[in-house]
Amino acid sequence: MPLTLTHEEQAWLDGRAGPALQRAMEIIVALGKIYGAQRLIPVESVQISGVSYRNIGDAGLRFLEQWVAEGARVRVPTTLNPTAMDLSAWRQQGFDPDFADRQQRIVQIFAQMGVGDGVPVPTCTPYLIGNRPSVGTHIAWAESSAVSFANSVLGARTNREGGPGAIAAALSGRTAAYGLHLEENRRPTSWVEVRTAVREVSDYSALGAVVGSAVKRGVPWFSGLLLTREDPLWEEKLKALGAAMAATGAVALYHVAELTPEAELQRPPAHHQLERLVVDDLAQGYAMLSDPVQRIDLVWVGCPHASLGEIERVAERVRGRTLRVPLWLTCARPVKEAAMHAGWVSEIEAAGGSVFADACLAIAPVRTLGFETVMTPSAKGAFYLRNLARVGVRFASLQACVTTAIRGELFDG
């Protein structure tokens, strides 16, 4: 069946509501045709990626300028992925004023479009600052870790949107009905049996690194994870698991037995033919994202952006200590403000660490900032630091990362 549009959607596509919306519709319709969609569906929220000046460059900046000059305005609540830098503290991070100017301009353009009601809050964890779509709602999010969290932990429905596709969805309030918007594509494709203790947040990251690289684009169904909603960090653990699988693979949805909203509905039948993966050791996950570096220039915590609970854990570990290696923690600005209120930011700063808002180190010019090696408790962070920022990485537990920062020499725990 061909893609069918409503009268209103057809009018937008014909340019009767202006060139900005027409361009958005052209993108949505093109994606719909590529993926065999039969209709478009309304989305309740959008999350836009492609915000870093380092990634989109001047060509991307001009593209956005032209779109907003044509009248591009968002139609549904829309949030923004991190930028390369803290929009207030970029000097402290060591950014060049010219780079900072262009990065600020990109954020201004999104503000003009109405992202965040004109005040964008760049973060990859919109669900930690109140944007939590409910089970079954259709959304169009772009950041891969947020897509995974929304689909798997919140039970919302989104594909992994690209940069222009997400903007087009924000301007039209529509996306094409294909992929994970359809029930039949939310069924598991592999059964992952976990037969080892998975305790720390970074252990979930290591597990995700192993599973993502094995199942690629699949939908894994996990058993054997002894995680419950009583664990105060259960969401952080699933955040880490999903982010890692989205990085080493392209997993956008997973189910955890007796925990995630669709897991029991999607439980594989007794005689299923699913690919089976047994994970009985996490060492491989840590090793696959660790380079043979001897010296650490920077410790980075907060990929995906840290929750209040994660900031508290760092503050507890550095309280009264002096860091010999810089430690940067990244989070959403409202989370930083709450952590300041709790006193955790000043404890981290007193030790010599920094808490930055808005920023993602993986999309920053890390070498230009003076760092050649970075240690992190995030598999996704290590994956992109290695592949995008081109620095040496060490992926380890939070305890090992903080101990390294305190001792000034690599501690592997």
* Region near ligand F3S per CB under 6 A, out of 71-79, 176-184, 315-323, 378-386: 378-386
360 binds ligand F3S (CB under 6 A): yes
d(CA 14, CA 278): 52
Nearest alpha carbon to residue 124 among 83, 86, 63:
83
Question: Taking the complex as a whole, how short is the minimal distance between the CB of residue 33 and ligand F3S, in angstroms?
Answer: 30
Q: Which stretch binds ligand F3S (CB under 6 A): 33-41, 86-94, 154-162, 379-387?
A: 379-387
Shortest Cβ distance from residue 246 to ligand F3S (Å)?
Answer: 8
DSSP helix/strand/coil, 171: helix
Of the candidates 50, 82, 163, 188, which one interacts with ligand F3S according to CB under 6 A?
82
Q: Which is nearer to ligand F3S, 257 or 388 (CB)?
A: 388
At its nearest, how many Å lie between ligand F3S and the CB of residue 70? 28
From the list 317, 380, 386, 394, which residue makes contact with ligand F3S (rule: CB under 6 A)?
380
Can you tell me whether residue 311 is helix, strand or coil? helix
Q: Kindly tell me which of 160 and 174 has the beta carbon lying closer to ligand F3S.
A: 160
Q: Which residue has the tokens 């100017």?
A: 101
Query: Residue 113, interface with ligand F3S (CB under 6 A)?
Result: no
Give 348's DSSP letter: H
Q: Which long-range contacts (CB under 8 A, 24 or more apart) does 88-95 make?
A: 88/357, 88/358, 89/354, 89/356, 89/357, 92/354, 93/328, 93/354, 93/356, 93/359, 93/364, 93/369, 94/369, 94/370, 95/369
Give the interface size with ligand F3S as a residue count (CB under 6 A).
Answer: 15
Query: If binding is defined by CB under 6 A, does position 381 make contact with ligand F3S?
Result: yes
- 163, 165, 242, 304: which one contacts ligand F3S (CB under 6 A)? 304
Q: Does 362 bind ligand F3S (CB under 6 A)?
A: yes
How far is it, in rounded angstroms, from Cα 351 to Cα 317?
10
- By CB under 6 A, name the one of 51, 87, 115, 124 that touches ligand F3S: 124
In contact, 167 and 47? CB cutoff 8 Å: no
Least spacing, CB of residue 59 vs ligand F3S, in Å: 21
Indicate the residue among 22 and 205 with the shorter CB distance to ligand F3S: 205
- For position 303 contacting ligand F3S by CB under 6 A, the verdict is yes
| Secondary structure class of 27 (helix, strand, coil) | helix
| Residues of this chain, 128-157, that bind ligand F3S according to CB under 6 A | 143, 145
242 CA to centre of own chain? 9
Q: What share of the chain is helix, strand, coil (3-state, %, to 5)?
A: 45, 15, 40
Q: Enumerate binding residues for ligand F3S (CB under 6 A).
A: 81-82, 124, 143, 145, 243, 303-305, 330, 360, 362, 380-381, 384
